[in-house]
Amino acid sequence: MTSADLQELVGQKPFVPLRLFVSDGTVHEVRNRELFWVGMGMAVLVVPL
């Protein structure tokens, strides 16, 4: 998946929560678009404690 594909998913209106499967085997739930940023070749997910 490219960063453009990911940006399109996160930018959907209304926002649809998604699961992010990372290459190290972890899975993250993206429930809030404000806690997820997509850049060129990178993404940042804020995980509240």
SS3 sequence of the chain:
CCHHHHHHHHCCCCCCCEEEECCCCCEEEECCHHHEEEECCEEEECCCC
pLDDT band (50, 70, 90) for residue 40: confident
- Radius of gyration from C-alpha coordinates of the chain: 10
For residue 11, the enclosing domain spans 3-45
Q: Using an 8 Å Cβ cutoff, are 11 and 18 in contact? A: no
pLDDT of 2 > 90? The answer is no
Mean of pLDDT values over 33-41 = 89
Number of domains the chain contains: 1
Q: Which helix (H) or strand (E) holds 32?
A: none
pLDDT of 24 > 90? The answer is yes
Mean pLDDT over the full length of the chain: 90
